[in-house]
Structure formats: C-alpha cells, structure tokens
Amino acid sequence: MSAPNTEPTPAQQPEQSPEQATSEPQPTVQRPSMPGMLQSVAAAAFGVQSEKKRQQDFQAGKPGDYIALGVIFVIAFIITLIVVVNIVLDSVAK
C-alpha cells in the first residue's frame, strides 16, 4: 500500500496576496504635499515628468486630487493665455 498524501492540494491552500507573497516589508509611502502635487501636475502638463516621479505619484497620491489640480491648472493656463493675447493685441492696436 502507498502512504496517504498529506500535502494540501492547490485548492486547499490559502491564497496569498502579492503583498504576502514577498518577504520584504513594503516601505511606507508618504502622501505628496500640495506643492509637490502642483509640481507634478505642471511637469506632466508640459511633458517633462520623470518616470520615477510619475511612479511615486501613482503609488502615493489619490487620483481625484491630481484630476482636480489638472483641471484647475488647465483653466488657469487658458485664462493666462487669453489675458496675454489681449494685452499684446491692445499694445499693437495703439
């Protein structure tokens, strides 16, 4: 006779989340400050955001915060363009 199999089958083993599967402790991720978020939004808007900073933003920040700041940034940028164009056009018309 053969000995009974005492190892649990894959269906009987508890599932491990990706965090539990690694033995290394995860570093605590600090939420970005308001100036840091503004810098990230401005850098992303002009296309000069580094990959490292982008990864930090996605890991630590809330998407809603960045979306709200992005919308505010775009509105402020458009208003600034309108004001500058009007000033230039007024100075040329005189």
Whether the CB-CB separation of 40 and 49 falls below 8 Å is answered with: yes
Mean pLDDT of the chain: 82
Please compute Rg for the chain using Cα positions: 26
Tens digit of each residue's pLDDT (9 = 90 or more) over 54-77:
898 889 889 999 999 999 999 999
Whether the CB-CB separation of 76 and 44 falls below 8 Å is answered with: no
Task: Return the structure tokens found at 93.
Answer: 């018309």
**What spatial distance separates the first Cα and last Cα of the chain, rounded to whole Å?**
106
* d(C-alpha 21, C-alpha 34), whole Å: 34
**More confident site: 63 or 29:** 63
| Predicted pLDDT at 23 | 60
User: What are the residue boundaries of the structural domains of the chain, listed by start?
Assistant: 30-93
| Predicted pLDDT at 24 | 62
